[in-house]
Copies of this chain bind each other. A is one copy, B any other.
Amino acid sequence: MTTPKKSTYNISRYLLHRLKEAGIHHIFGVPGDYTLDFLDEVLASPLKWVGNCNELNAGYAADGYARMKGAGAAAVTYGVGGLSILNAVAGAYAERVPLIVISGAPPSHRRDTGAMVHHLIADYYVQLEIFKKVTVDATILTSADSAPDEIDRVITNALIHKLPVYIELPVDMALLSCRPPHTISRALHRTSDKDSLEECVEDAARLLDAALNPVVLAGVELLRFGLGTAALNLVETLEIPFSTMLSSKCVLPELHPQFIGIYQGNWSREAVKHQVESSDCLLSLGVWMTDFDTGLFSMNFDNRRVIDVGDGDVRIGNHYYHGVQLGDFISALSRKAKTRAYLTSHPHETRRLKDRFIPQNGQILTAPRLYECVNSFLDDHTVLLAEPGDAFCAAPDFHIEEAENFIVQAYYTSIGFCTPASLGVAMARPKKRPVILTGDGAFQMTAQEMSTLIRHGSNAVIILINNDGYLIERMLHEDGLYNDIQMWNYASLPEAFGGKDKVIGILANTEDELAQAFATAAAEKNKLIFIEARLPNRDCSEGLLRLGKAIRQSNPKK
């Protein structure tokens, strides 16, 4: 294959140009022989290659990156790579994260003959067809003439829809010369239907203005579409109290005087549940009614009093407006509805902010105390990643002020996500410190990616909640030995992963050991801190206890 002159474009360089334009400066992945020509171009480009231990981890890392930067990319090889990253891509699809997957592929002339090349699944289109099911757009680049347009369309769709996309780059296409990228002035958002928008906003404003105790429920799409500021402007302009959800935690500031707390149906704290559900006009912005966000569908709303805005549609009571985009709706409503005196809508419960954690010496650590201590450690320079499990049950009670300082997969809930995702956070926000709160079962899934954090000198703080198995399953179902896992000697992991001088590993059995561990973390800002917090058997957060209660309420037979 002839390498084109540096001044000209080939398909790989074209693609890299568009990725950079989308704000992507790091590509995660694992090399394979079908991708090496492309990876040579990555190394020669301004983008940085971040190799991972395996492809699933690369996908999680790119997802974490995309949540911070607005888009992320991962490059893998065909078959063994493509299908290994798939679960991360499906997670990005479910959670609306624009993750761009680039997969190498066998050369086109092999495809034409159907040759049995390594990494082939069944035929040369299976991988594309599978990815079509978990992406908003997918393509195989088959010629230098069509590749630029294909790349432009696919990446644009990722950015507009905030969904993953798939680009298959056969090895013999990677270095083919192609046209340079034109300047494209693309509208990266969907536009609203003007008449629908106008009527809809009038309708909503009328209801809101007439309401005595309206509440805004700020949902996850505000995060995904970057509408936090617009929504803040709305609630402040109209002076309406607001609640967030686990999936949208801290999309609006938690110290804000209008903040009620986290709404989770029957999983909520009682005061929050009451105030949200008794509202006579609930303005629901970009909310997904997922099982965890609704306390297993235990939300109790009077639909006639709900204005539900999201994903292009608005429902007011029992009628619908189509083609109304969330951002447009928020802006228009901010101008249209009346400002009200923020009087009666104070939360009924004193909000729990941060207390300084004062350890009792020698006191055996409990889950609630562990989480108090974690909460007290978090600040505006940390990004908390809470693993599905007890960690994400505890997380709603933490005080986090900035939207981008909290990451959770509250809907797709793929355990093992957080450790690799923190690598993406570390690359995206080098000045922030990732804090990973993970259970032992989740950690074991993707543990090796800690070695990549070490490799890149990350100063992440990994808090491993060691409760000897799959705790959440123990709490929500009769226990069985399938919840047992091998007890690792976690303290040896930093050394094993080559982190002897770069990691401080700390075992905490007691409150003072834990407090000391976080003091060390605060002092050692340039090292990776690995805290193993051992908890008594079946000890868990108040949140998980509430979840168990909510489940029993929803299914009394369990």
A residues in contact (CB < 8 Å) with B: 1, 31-33, 36, 39-40, 42-43, 49, 51, 53-54, 56, 79-80, 83-84, 86-87, 90-91, 93-94, 115-122, 126, 129-130, 133-134, 288-292, 297, 388, 411-416, 444-448, 451-452, 454-455, 470, 472-473, 476-478, 480-490, 492-493, 495-498, 500, 557-558
Contact = CB atoms under 8 A, between A and B. Distances in A.
Contacts of A484: 51
Given A36-B473, A445-B53, A297 B115 contact: yes
How many identical subunits does the complex contain? Answer: 2
Contact of A487 (B288, B492, B498): B498
A336 B118 CA distance: 37
Contacts of A492: 492, 495-496
Nearest to A442: B54
Contact of A79 (B133, B412, B416, B482): B412
Contact of A133 (B91, B126, B490, B498): B126
B134 A31 contact: no
26 contacts: A31-B470, A31-B482, A36-B473, A43-B480, A43-B481, A49-B482, A51-B482, A51-B484, A54-B445, A56-B84, A79-B87, A83-B90, A93-B122, A94-B121, A116-B288, A116-B289, A118-B290, A118-B413, A119-B413, A121-B412, A448-B448, A451-B486, A488-B497, A489-B495, A492-B495, A496-B496
Contact of A477 (B33, B90, B483): B33
In the complex, the 7 A-B pairs of residues with the closest C-beta atoms, listed nearest first: A492-B496, A83-B87, A80-B414, A455-B486, A116-B290, A54-B445, A31-B482
B497 A486 contact: yes
B444 A290 contact: no
A496 B490 contact: yes
Contacts of A480: 31, 36, 39-40, 43
